[in-house]
Chain A
Amino acid sequence: MMTIERVFMEVRELASEDLERWIAAELVRPDGERGDWRFAEIDVARIRLIVELRDVLEISEPALPTVLSLLDQLYGMRRRMRQLNEAMEAHLAPDVRAALQRHLFE
């Protein structure tokens, strides 16, 4: 967990009013409260992502929530697929695995 000052050191191109606005819009969700935010590593990575979406990919500020929501859905799906993979690894009988493999990959 890191403080907001530390985040500004990590992400140089970040303006404080941008971050405040993104937190208010719940695009970034640190722990704690206003005046004492605590950022996890994923929060900092997400801030970097938002800055990149905006500055490099030129996604306008009003479109950011939509883009992030789609990404959140995509990553939610990927995490779930990974769980499915783990469940199948743990419980699938070899013959079922082979049948699935044929069905999906051949």
Chain B
Amino acid sequence: MAEDLYTVLGVAKSASADDIRSAFRKLAKKHHPDLNPGNKVAEERFKTISAANEILSDPEQRKKYDAGEIDETGAQKAPPRGYRDYADAAPGARYAYSGGGAGAEGFGGETFEDLFGTIFGERGARDAGPRRGQDAQYTLLAAFLDAVNGATTRLTLPDGRTLDVKIPPGTADGDVLRLRGRGAPGRNGGPAGDALIEINVAPHAFFRRDGQDVSLTLPVSLREAVLGAKISVPTPGGPVAMTIRPGADTGTTLRLKGRGVPAHGTLAAGDLYVTLEVRLGPADPALEAFLKDAPGAQKFDPRAGMDGAA
């Protein structure tokens, strides 16, 4: 607001009491109203320098002014307005409690109707008109393949009623299905609420899902791996024939296009990734004898390249 008092008197903050006194006298002489009759500016100026002198010439006051405890007029500085000044008034709506979903005013709104509902019961707007029933929330554990391919599952509600829940193909863990009108009944002719069903997908013994794609670790025999074979592979949609080329190995991954999660909505069908895992099976004396004599068997070192790794 006002000019700094030291500036008004034209002295440094470090000025001594004598400096201040002589600066004031010099300025007072120049602007004294009696010496400048009719000059409003001089009169104002004189008031300003007198006020400045009043504070700066009093050691106590000067100390408070330097510490910022009082302002240029000597008034106590007002502390900043507290949060309650805003929160109690209209601006407080900015931080209206909204937790718990429904009523925008939370404690202030919902509870208010709770508390005063008996007065307004007859005429209150909330109860007079039709009112939609509340949504009901349920959780449903779906089998992996039911979620991938889609299925209809019967859900038994806590009150004994049953709901047939149609799980659409491609449903992912955590998806929420909305069954219109299957929540709590409405009041005064209002529509019923919805049932919101969160789907939890159970893990599968063999399949794993990544979005639209599914992966599978498939055991193969040594013979199938070495010589190649045509084998049957389980997929989410049922078994499919697949050809393994000769020389396949553990870790080899084959892609079966379109055999993952079926197409649904705007998403194309995903793929099934089959990773081979060679199993030796029961001990075989003939194989042992062969490997002892096979000239190539001793040359392959699967750990070549690991030297110095540890």
Contact = CB atoms under 8 A, between A and B. Distances in A.
A71 B88 CA distance: 11
Contacts of A49: 82-83
Interface stretch (A1-9, A14-22, A37-45): A37-45
Contacts of A40: 91, 94
B295 interface: no
A79 B92 contact: yes
A99 B76 CA distance: 45
B280 interface: no
A36 B146 CA distance: 48
Interface string A52-82: 0000000000000000110111111111101
Contacts of A79: 88-90, 92-93, 108
Nearest to B87: A75
The contact size tier of chain B is 20 to 34
B138 interface: no
B95 A72 contact: yes
B80 interface: yes
A52 B234 CA distance: 63
Chain B: interface secondary structure? Answer: helix
Contact of B107 (A29, A42, A73, A84): A73
The contact size tier of chain A is 20 to 34
A80 B109 contact: yes
Given A45-B83, A49-B83, A29 B95 contact: yes
A11 to B, nearest CB: 9
B83 to A, nearest CB: 4
A51 B111 CA distance: 30
Given A41-B91, A42-B92, A80-B108, 10 more contacts: A40-B91, A40-B94, A42-B95, A45-B82, A49-B82, A72-B97, A73-B107, A76-B108, A77-B111, A80-B112
Interface of A: 10, 29, 40-43, 45-46, 48-49, 68-69, 71-80, 82, 84
